Amino acid sequence: MLEQRYFPSLTGIRAVAAFMVYIFHFNPFIPEKFGNGVFSFFDQFNAGVPIFFVLSGFLIAARYQDKILPNWTWFKQYLLKRFARIYPIYFLLTTITFAIIWLDILCLPPGTSPKDFNSFILYLLNVTFLKGFFDLFKNTGLPQSWSLSVEECFYLCAPILFLLKTRINLFLQCCILFVFGLFLTLIFSPINFFGFFSSLKFTISVTFFGRIMEFYIGIKLFDLFKNRKGEKTCKYNFPLFTIAGISGATLTLLLLSLLSDFYLLKTLVHIWVLPVYIALTFWGLLTEVSIIRRLLETEIFQLLGKSSYAFYLLHMGFLQVLLYKFFNTDYTMIFISITLISIAVYKLIEEPVQKIITKKTSTSDKEKIDVTWIKN
């Protein structure tokens, strides 16, 4: 019997993660009006990124962990599906961003295109996801897309990690990758090559090697979910795991808001402790019936979740600048506008292009079934 590969509540949570990142970038809870404590708490809402990373670990494990074939044909089809999910809309929006820079149409945010560097090379670094390895370039183009460099590294490594699981424990593999990132930092930080692995801070917080444990936690969550015993969902009156996960994550964000003077400790809590509570929340959403789960599974949250990738790419950059010029400082209207435009981009561009590309991978009945799993 075919195992479940689509999880509605986890699709809905993607919208929550994307909106959290938006609040982090455009924190409306200004200290003058709400106080420093409230502002600092919401300033930790970059926690949306760990949600995406843990979720990616879970979903990639769910779809591919037990179905990998050690040959180029399988790997090529796998890469094509991942390409279809991530790349077309990213390439389009990145190209538009650099066209605006080259034509000098808009005044984009600082750092979008360093003037002391060849802009075409910078464009290539962006469209190949290589910018995420350079501290100087990580916020260029679409500033938030540094996380896609991390994501793409995981996509490339995931099949290898899964194939090696029987010989090398997955946790040990992740530890080796983390140490390898530290080794790269030790070698390249003194060279100062455009910020390539320039510091411990950069490596741990921005690169795949520093963020590997978030993906591992997601993979481990799927292993536990797959091997669970008893009812598929627990029909308790009180959603224990959901509430415990959300409460733990909230307390962690409060702790992070108090650690502003201890960056390394704050980063480690952010990428090692917070993901545990995120996974606990996911476990609750997967195994418990609750109001929160029902809300995330509604049609509106499914639509918001599916369009959350477009929202993530659009919420900073040329669209936000244009809307800011039109609505001035009314971030509520800007947020609503970006949400609606993201839905339109998903429906009219992202989803159709993804279907066209993934259809080409359906070379057998088995592959035709697998194509239905990629949709999330």
Contact 253, 44 (CB under 8 A): yes
Backbone angles phi, psi at 234, to 5 degrees: -95, 120
pLDDT digits (tens), the chain, 376 positions = 335 578 999 999 999 999 999 999 999 999 999 999 999 999 999 999 999 999 999 999 999 998 899 899 999 999 999 999 999 999 999 999 999 988 877 777 777 777 667 889 999 999 999 999 999 999 999 999 999 999 999 999 999 999 999 899 999 999 999 999 999 999 999 998 999 999 999 999 999 999 999 999 999 999 999 998 655 555 556 899 999 999 999 999 999 999 988 888 999 999 999 999 999 999 999 999 999 999 999 999 999 999 999 999 999 999 998 998 888 878 889 999 999 999 999 999 999 999 998 876 654 434 443 433 334 4
Q: Which of 61, 2, 64 is nearest to 282 (CA)?
A: 61
Unique residue bearing structure tokens 């429906």 = 347
Contact 226, 65 (CB under 8 A): no
Please state the pTM of the whole predicted model. Answer: 0.92
d(CA 127, CA 124): 5
Domain boundaries, the chain: 8-374
> What is the DSSP code (8-state) at residue 65?
T
Contact 122, 113 (CB under 8 A): yes
